[in-house]
Structure 1
Amino acid sequence: MYRFLLTPRWLGYLALALAAAAVMVLLGNWQLHRYHARTEVNERIDAGARMAPVPLADALAAPTGGPGTAGPAPAEKVTWSRVTATGRYDTGNLVLVRGRTVDDGVGFEVLTPLVLADGTAVLVDRGWIPPAPGGAVARPDVPATPTGEVTVVGRVHPSEDGGTVDRRDGQLETRRIDVPRLARELPYPVRGAYLLLDEQTPAADPTFRAVPIGHTNNWQNFGYVWQWWIFAVMTLIGYGWAARREARDRAGLDRPGQPVDRAAEPATGTPA
């Protein structure tokens, strides 16, 4: 009944179904890997919010190059951890990061180098401020930067990719916080990541709004895992359904029966 499955046409259907199912299983496995990776990021974010801050040097290695260079990127295990550092803000090299969104408002993040005792610096994202009246790209009025010694507590944020840096009227501006690219504009070596400010002594200006750290949407990846695996199973079920239907058609099991001629049937029953 199922010998037709050994014909070239049906063997081709089988190979196609198996190949498609295998690809879908691999895609599901890849999404599962993404789910685990994003879950680890979320766990580090949550752990960082609870931990006591550690010295900056424990998380970010000092750069070994000269001025205009960036140090090594942080290890994954220390990203989003809380660190503390003490130094002096370099107000002459403040960076405006434009086009940044907080609570649906588009404005600027203010990035300021904190120069440390060893002569290196770490970029500190002091927070978000709205643009000046006139539009989302209107340069804001930046609150005064503290002078003298400053102690900060912040989260280790990895460098963003793809940034370009412009100077407008002597002011550094960018859309992406690309630490190595920004380091080229600065007169000292810079640590390989930047800090999202949590606390500052002396206290930060209340105009600044803390930049939130959003969790990754790991459950979306988990949903894709099941989606691809279910598609793989449905592909094999579809092949089996098509094969069964072909077998029944060949056996004539699904052909309509011959109509019964009721007039030709003998009469039954006793006459009155």
Structure 2
Amino acid sequence: MSITFDDVPIHAEFILPAQSVKDINHKLLQTLKKYNIKATGFVNEGHLKNDPQLLQSLLSDWHEHGHDLGNHTFSHMSYHKTDLNTYLADIQKGAITTQRVLGKQKQKFFRPPYLHAGDTPEAQHMLDKGLKESGLRLVPVTMENADYVFDAPYAAKLQHKQLSAATSYKQYLEFTEHRLDFYENASAKMFDQPVPHILMLHVNQLNADHLDSILHSLQSRGYHFQSLENTLEHPIYSQPTQAFKFGIHWLFRWDKSKENKVNWAKEPEPSAEAFAEHQQALTTLNNGKL
């Protein structure tokens, strides 16, 4: 399995003080070091566009800890809501500081925001072509846990020193276990042998505080961690898929593009209450302005 993080150096649904952003990144890096994991972080340089010094410092921390830095566009732009040239330009804009940090090492990987990878076969093909010309490879996701839904309520409760923050993170960890169970069962139905997964997480307070629990659970399930480069060598990651108008992980894409062996209606989703709490927390954290 490979561990990946979107929205390095910070998931930006609400504003956090610079020190909090530093602390979140430091905690994540220390936990990854504890498990000897070399992760890949997909960078949104635009999330700290008003503090370029902090941006470069945090990206340098990830690089110096041995983690790879991929591209996640500059402005977290949806490919399905813009034209190709504008999108490719945003990718190039999002590589400037990262490339300065990487030095002679070139960016190799790209993950599309919202997992929007082309809503028609032509759009899909043109994006792949544009990425290839830039020396980038689109990186799939096979496991994700909707962490952003649980992060805002957790952060809001911490900010107001509410004991119920413990409830938020416990719900998150329980949901993660349910998702992992489902993905493992889906993979067993789809493939004759185990495949190396790619887990997508986000850089946020919730994961900074509880990544250790997730990694411990994964180890208990028998997973071993390896670089993204090694995982992508598996033949499954060369399989084409249909184009989808919505963002979705690649287990779904592969299954729907071929044999349709999995009942995806049973994939665990956050409850309506969890989504409502997420929206309310964003209102609180952004001082009433969403």
Q: Same fold (TM over 0.5)?
A: no
- Greater helix content: 2
Q: Which has the larger radius of gyration?
A: 1
- For normalisation by structure 1, the TM-score amounts to 0.24
- Greater strand content: 1
